Amino acid sequence: DQQVKQNSPSLSVQEGRISILNCDYTNSMFDYFLWYKKYPAEGPTFLISISSIKDKNEDGRFTVFLNKSAKHLSLHIVPSQPGDSAVYFCAASVVGGNQFYFGTGTSLTVIP
Amino acid sequence: DTGVSQNPRHKITKRGQNVTFRCDPISEHNRLYWYRQTLGQGPEFLTYFQNEAQLEKSRLLSDRFSAERPKGSFSTLEIQRTEQGDSAMYLCASSGRGGTYYGYTFGSGTRLTVV
């Protein structure tokens, strides 16, 4: 039962353009969402988060948008850089929960 | 502090053998988590420790799996009688008192291959 879904396994973007990665979830009890970035042979690293009381959170080139009614969130990277090429995982947790539920990941390639 | 450390990085074992992995969390983190990631999937929760107490276990953690965190420091994950389906990346993560709120710090993982 995949509660967090990333329907695009891969995405290619030209350097300098915007990358948009999407994530959908099914559990309305999720109240906290994160994006992790993963390079090959490394563990995931925390990128940006958003609480369900907000609809947008921004950190430098990275912005996460949350649409609770649609149970959808997205990560925007502007401008995209070759070093952003990695696998991006969306993750969600519930209030007081001790675990994250991860999506299957989207592999982003930024073409120089 | 160099972050979350996991050993070994790679392990190849024959089916039916026992294997043990070790995780050293960030020293000031009291919470420790184990996840498993198979090819093409995201990490899946296995178990959670707060200090030395194992407070939550996933149904994925069959009776062949056991995890410990003696003295609330490092943790070990043992798999007995390994099966080919156990082949995966085993990820350890730790966090401070905020728990999931601030995200985890993951280690680089132990890749297990059962042949």
Asked if A27 and A101 count as a contact pair (C-beta separation under 8 A), the reply is yes
- Candidates A82, A87, A79, A73; CA nearest to A34 is A73
Q: What confidence score (pLDDT) does residue A73 get?
A: 96
Among chain A residues, CA nearest to B54: A98
User: Is the confidence at residue B98, as pLDDT, over 90?
Assistant: no
Interface test with A, best of B48, B100, B101, B105 (most A CBs within 10 A): B100
Does B47 score more than 70 pLDDT? yes
Q: Nearest-CA neighbor of A29 among A11, A46, A52?
A: A52
Q: What is the pLDDT of residues A34-81, one digit of tens each?
A: 999 999 888 999 999 999 999 999 999 999 999 999 999 999 999 999
What mean pLDDT do residues B29-56 have?
Answer: 93
Task: Provide the b/e sequence for B95-111 (b: ≥16 CB within 10 Å).
Answer: beeebbeebbbbbbbbb
Q: Does A87 touch chain B (CB under 8 A)?
A: no
Contact A104 B42 (CB under 8 A): yes
Mean pLDDT of A72-92: 97
Task: Find all residues with CB under 8 Å of B48, minimum gap 6, and list them.
Answer: A98, A99, B31, B32, B33, B34, B54, B55, B56, B57
- Residues from chain B that touch A6, judged by Cβ atoms under 8 A, are 42
Pairing of strands B110-114, B10-13: parallel
Q: Are A78 and A14 in contact (CB under 8 A)?
A: no
Interval A84-103 mean pLDDT = 92
Q: What tens digit of pLDDT does each residue of A9-40 get?
A: 999 999 999 999 999 999 999 999 999 999 98
Q: What is the pLDDT of residue B103?
A: 75
Residue B62 to residue B52: CA distance in whole angstroms: 20
Which positions in chain B touch A32 (Cβ < 8 Å)?
A: 100-101
